[in-house]
């Protein structure tokens, strides 16, 4: 891709990002604002809000923490239980599509933690795990995370 094209795409994404943030404040449909935020997010390996959550610069409701992972309640829950599980060290894993062989251990750790937290939350009848990836996958924060959703009947197919 030509450098000028790449700059134009970045500018357009920044413009959409501003519109997305504005709409997310104005929209009454939370699904629409989540999608707008995801479409407006710029895929990148730069630090995200999750780094500030890990460093405790911004508060979160932590439900589980060890040396490798942090689990905290989603600020915009889509189910009675909605928890995000993230690696403390991103190591290039802005999303699942960036996974390499060296990430197998942490990817397994994220899923295993989801199971531990599901048990801790009493989700004995079942739960759902989601990993959004990229704009089409509705990813809005580019620090890999597992969504743990439960406490209500899930539907299939997902939206």
* Residue numbers at the binding site for ligand AMP (CB under 6 A): 38, 49, 60, 74-76, 84, 132, 138-141
Distance, CA of 13 to CA of 23 (rounded, Å): 15
Read out DSSP for 126-155?
--EEE---TTTTT--SSS--EEEEESS---
Which of 8, 56 has the CB closer to ligand AMP?
56
Whether 103 is catalytic: no
User: Residue 76 Cβ, how far from ligand AMP at the closest point, in Å?
Assistant: 4
User: Residue 81 Cβ, how far from ligand AMP at the closest point, in Å?
Assistant: 13
Which of 81, 140 has the CB closer to ligand AMP?
140
Which of 2, 40 has the CB closer to ligand AMP?
40
Distance, CA of 61 to CA of 84 (rounded, Å): 10
User: Residue 60 Cβ, how far from ligand AMP at the closest point, in Å?
Assistant: 5
Strands (E), 54-136: 62-65, 69-73, 81-87, 128-130
Which of 9, 58 has the CB closer to ligand AMP?
58
| Residue of 82, 103, 143, 145 with catalytic role | 145
Distance, CA of 124 to CA of 146 (rounded, Å): 19
CA angle, 20 then 110 then 91, to 5°: 70
User: Residue 112 Cβ, how far from ligand AMP at the closest point, in Å?
Assistant: 20
**What amino acid positions are annotated as catalytic residues?**
145
């Amino acid at each position: 891709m030509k450098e000028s094209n790449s700059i134009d795409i970045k500018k357009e994404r920044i413009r959409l990002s501003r519109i997305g943030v504005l709409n997310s404040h104005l929209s009454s449909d939370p699904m629409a604002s989540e999608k707008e935020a995801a479409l407006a997010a710029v895929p990148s390996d730069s630090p995200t809000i999750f780094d500030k959550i890990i460093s405790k610069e911004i508060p979160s409701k932590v439900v589980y923490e060890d040396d490798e992972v942090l689990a905290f309640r989603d600020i915009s829950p889509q189910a009675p239980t909605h928890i995000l599980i993230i690696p403390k060290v991103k190591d290039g894993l802005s999303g699942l599509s960036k996974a390499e062989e060296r990430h197998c251990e942490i990817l397994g750790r994220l899923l295993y933690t989801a199971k531990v937290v599901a048990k801790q939350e009493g989700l004995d009848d079942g739960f759902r795990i989601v990993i959004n990836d990229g704009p089409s996958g509705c990813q809005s924060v580019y620090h890999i995370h597992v969504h743990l959703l439960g406490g209500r009947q899930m539907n299939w197919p997902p939206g």
